[in-house]
């Protein structure tokens, strides 16, 4: 059920008194520059959609006001826990959270109330969650995670750098370094891949734990960036411009992308309702996002509402491309060598995967006609990229189609699923152990160092 607009704003402003060590210096009545409801100001919504939809979006004043509020909303329970860093130290917080995820709160010696609130919030599964559908969505998604995701994850990662207002935290946290870029790509891939394993999202499953770790990492980033901004006025983060780092709404595009693509496909076919298999994919995405702390209002269930929510987000985020932020992040992501060894087959795979990601990114997020933006970002595909993309498709598409067919055939689907699960586990080994941590000492330099 959607809460009233007044209740939403009360929740936003309550952050200041509920977690004063983190939000005490933030004025939540100031609209940050990143938010725009001016029809004459260009937004992050692609031009091919802006002309058709943006006027309608901005005409709905209550919806716009809700978008403004969500721009300033963090993760209450994870933020409160991360704010204990000066008292407990970040390593102790991580250890306690891991123990609570693996063995339960009772296994933690004198757990702080903030940890209990954090875990209990994740355990409070909403009534709308149908775990049978979530499990079916995970089963159906294993095919894409094995046969497509490894070739597009780099391009999907680049999509998060298209806007300086939402992308700056990545630059501040040291992600411009090649090794850090690789780590963040692998951690992102690891979470969504792990979530498709059988039982991964159950209470003591690895996906549940990974979601908790992702939330803590994001909250630690918020804590360190905000504390640095308030103690170092010359620092890169200005709340009046950027608001709060990584508001929950900024996680929505990546978290709900499978649901959005499924909704877009259904709407393109003239359907407002999902088939059962489409519904399973959508429900997996929604439950993953619930575990990641996204508010229910940002996780609609029906195709038109999913599309509308995404358009509203893009249509109220001010367009902003800064080469020192967006460009550097993009170039670092595209140039990094991802395999763990220098074998010839690994080098070939890296070349094909990089080109495949460039073509995928430009077609999925920029559109074939928006060549100027691709060139500005340094990801415009060349002839060799298109050639390698075609070569990759010759390998990827037959496998995708074959496994998709097998998934609907009794008996054969069980054999295929065992193979896919085995391959997912191999991929997770390739991605490496995901730490989901953030070290403030490696953040972009400012004139003074932040507190612990």
Q: Long-range pairs for 220-223 at CB < 8 Å and ≥24 separation?
A: 220/82, 220/85, 220/90, 220/437, 220/438, 221/169, 221/173, 221/245, 221/246, 221/438, 222/22, 222/74, 222/75, 222/79, 222/82, 222/246, 223/22, 223/79, 223/82, 223/83, 223/85
Residue the block writes with tokens 């991929």: 427
How is residue 235 annotated by DSSP?
S
CA 226, 174, 102: angle at the middle one, nearest 5?
Answer: 80
Buried b or exposed e, range 149-175, using 16+ CB within 10 angstroms: bbbbbbbbbbbbbbbbbbbbbbbbbbb
Q: CA 116 to CA 191: how far, in whole Å?
A: 23
- What are residue 299's phi and psi, to 5 degrees? -125, 60
Q: What is the pTM of this model?
A: 0.90
pLDDT value of position 374? 79
Structure confidence by residue, pLDDT tens digits, 68-96: 999 999 999 999 999 999 999 989 999 99
Specify whether the CB–CB gap between 310 and 258 falls below 8 A.
Answer: no
**Residue 447 pLDDT:** 37
What pLDDT digit, counting tens, does each position of 351-395 carry?
A: 999 999 999 988 877 765 566 777 878 888 999 999 999 999 999
Mean pLDDT of successive 10-residue segments in the chain (452 residues)? 89 96 93 95 86 92 95 96 94 96 96 97 96 97 95 86 85 68 86 94 95 95 85 74 93 91 94 95 97 95 95 94 83 87 92 93 73 79 94 94 95 96 94 67 45 36
């Amino acid at each position: 059920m959607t809460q009233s607009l007044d209740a939403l704003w009360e929740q936003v402003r309550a952050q200041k008194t509920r977690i004063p060590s983190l939000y005490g210096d933030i004025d939540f009545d100031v609209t940050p520059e990143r938010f725009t409801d001016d029809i004459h100001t260009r937004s992050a919504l692609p031009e091919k959609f802006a002309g058709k939809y943006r006027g309608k979006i901005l005409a709905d004043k209550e919806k716009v006001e809700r978008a403004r509020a969500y721009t300033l909303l963090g993760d209450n329970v994870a933020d409160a826990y991360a704010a204990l860093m000066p008292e407990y130290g970040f390593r102790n917080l991580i250890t306690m959270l891991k123990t609570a995820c693996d063995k339960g709160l009772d296994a933690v010696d004198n757990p702080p109330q903030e940890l209990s609130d954090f875990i209990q919030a994740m355990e409070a599964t909403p009534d709308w969650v149908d775990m049978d559908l979530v499990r079916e969505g995970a089963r159906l998604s294993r095919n894409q995670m094995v046969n497509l995701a490894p070739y597009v994850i780099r391009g999907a990662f680049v999509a998060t750098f298209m806007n300086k207002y939402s992308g700056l935290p990545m630059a501040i946290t040291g992600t411009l370094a090649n090794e850090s870029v690789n780590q963040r790509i692998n951690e992102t891939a690891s979470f969504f891949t792990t979530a498709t394993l059988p039982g991964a999202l159950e209470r003591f499953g690895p996906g549940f734990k990974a979601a908790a770790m992702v939330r803590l990492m994001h909250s630690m980033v918020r804590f360190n960036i905000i504390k640095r901004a308030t103690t170092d006025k010359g620092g890169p983060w200005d709340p009046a411009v950027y608001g709060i780092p990584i508001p929950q709404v900024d996680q929505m595009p990546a978290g709900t992308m499978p649901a959005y693509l499924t909704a877009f496909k259904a709407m393109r076919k003239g359907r407002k309702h999902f088939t059962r298999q489409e519904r399973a994919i959508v429900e997996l995405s929604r439950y993953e996002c619930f575990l990641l702390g996204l508010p229910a209002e940002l996780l609609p269930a029906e195709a038109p509402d999913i599309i509308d929510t995404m358009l509203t987000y893009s249509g109220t985020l001010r367009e902003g491309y800064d080469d020192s932020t967006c460009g550097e992040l993009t170039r670092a992501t595209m140039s990094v060598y991802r395999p763990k060894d220098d074998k010839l087959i690994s080098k070939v795979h890296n070349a094909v995967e990089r080109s495949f990601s460039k073509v995928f990114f430009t077609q999925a997020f920029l559109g074939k006609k928006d060549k100027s933006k691709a060139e500005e970002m340094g990801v415009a595909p060349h002839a060799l990229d298109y050639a390698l993309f075609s070569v990759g498709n010759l390998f990827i598409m037959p496998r995708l189609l074959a496994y998709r067919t097998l998934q609907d055939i009794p008996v054969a689907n069980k054999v295929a699923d065992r193979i896919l699960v085995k391959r997912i586990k191999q991929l997770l080994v390739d991605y490496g152990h995901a730490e989901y941590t953030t070290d403030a000492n490696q953040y972009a330099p400012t004139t003074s160092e932040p507190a612990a």
